[in-house]
A = this chain, B = another copy of it.
Amino acid sequence: MSKTNPARGMRDFLPADVRKRNYVIGIIKEVYESYGFEPLETPAVENLETLMGKYGEEGNQLIFKILKRGEKLEEALSSGGNASVNERALSDLALRYDLTVPLARVVANNKNELPKFFKRYQIQPVWRADRPARGRFREFYQCDVDAIGSGSMAVEVEQISAVTAILRRLGFDDFIIRLNHREILSDILDTAGVPPELQGDALVAIDKLDKIGAEGVAKELSDRGIADKSAEMLLGIFEETRKIVEDGKDINRTIVGNLINIVSNEVLTDVGRILKYAAGCPVQLDPSLARGLSYYTGAIIEINVADLAGSIAGGGRYDALIGMFGKEQIPACGLSLGLERILVVMDERGMFPPEIAESTPADVMVTIWSEETTSESLKLASDLRQAGLRVTVYPEPDKLGKQIKYADAINVPYVAVLGENEISEGNVTVKNMKTGEQETLDRHHVSTIVVGRLG
């Protein structure tokens, strides 16, 4: 007898889970498509070399690697003693780690098939050999939207607008879209006198402002060799922002006003455009927003929901990534929604509509009276399906009480009882499982009446 639990950090999704996941994914798809984003799917398995070196040292380690097979494996194992038999030699393939690198590969590989502006969405699982923890899994879905080929700020705005529409459709009304720009960060760092070679380190520290507070960041900046005076100045700028947000008056304009002497006009113009075009979305400037990834070159975006640590979506402009796979640099910008986090918050807040939360496998269950009447029951089920109902059939003749009990267990709202009397009289007895009421209906009217009752 084998073990029956899923592998570590992996999850089985039973029907009630799948329904919730599909409900959210369905809305994400619908909204992305309404914005003209096109669906793309890439294989779960990529060549190892496609992924290695794209996610930093830690990423390299977290990539699930697939063992070579047959002769190639034997070759790797027999070549030159144990010392040289390492991970890299034993593996040729790997599991998808995110949806951005595969997109860059596809764009480079299909240059002639794809339009010059390529807007795609992609909703697929990714795998990371991370230590599993609460809310952190080794297989999880990403819902990415990216636009390739244009440097216009209208691109950022369409994505902000689409994600806003998705979150509102799902019932979120308390999210904030934090916006920053890579050059705002570097201009602030320059102004504070952080030398270029330490700016990467400084960003890693600043990224933790939400988690460890100003004091924690100050300590980390000092540990990373950044002068106290620079740290003080940096944190002073961010503290000012915090106060402006707390004050709540004309936040974005006030923050821009404070940045005018620090940040180039060009960047402030771009940021201003995003704020203007995205007027209907809850965008809020945050000059301290860094995000971990080093590949951003322009706008940096993160979406937060009240009482959820961490973000529910994030992304930005990465004009240099596609070039890793092709001959030319192509501008690009993308946002990624975290499906698992959205589901956690929606579950906690009870945000699923009743028909999803109730998770019924069918609208009606048809009973089977005897072997002889099985055809009649299957026929009735078929007729009810013709009327658009979802219909399950109790699979075998059994005591009526047991059939009703099963219908109750699977949460079906109506049972269509087809006993000997009903068949001989051309009737069906319909039982409402919520109220317990029963009524005997003409067989030809059952579907119309049940459809009506279900609303």
Contacts and interface: CB of A to CB of B under 8 A. Distances in A.
A395 interface: yes
B64 A65 contact: no
Interface string A360-384: 0110010010010011011000100
Given A67-B67, A374-B277, A393-B154, A139 B43 contact: yes
Interface string A384-396: 0100011111111
Nearest to A120: B15
B378 A154 contact: yes
Interface string A4-20: 11110011111101110
A47 B7 contact: yes
A2 interface: yes
Given A12-B110, A44-B127, A66-B66, A406 B4 contact: no
A424 interface: no
A77 B67 contact: no
Contacts of A73: 87
Contact of A150 (B115, B378, B395): B395
Interface centre among A46, A49, A110, A374 (most CB of B within 10 A): A374
A85 B157 CA distance: 54
A113 interface: yes
A213 to B, nearest CB: 33
Interface stretch (A33-41, A350-358, A447-455): A33-41
Contact of A18 (B7, B39, B90, B105): B39
A326 B5 CA distance: 12
Contacts of A86: 77
A440 interface: no
Contact of A82 (B82, B110, B273, B377): B82
B152 A395 contact: yes
Interface in A271-305: 273, 276-277, 279-280
A108 interface: yes
Contact of A276 (B116, B120, B375): B375
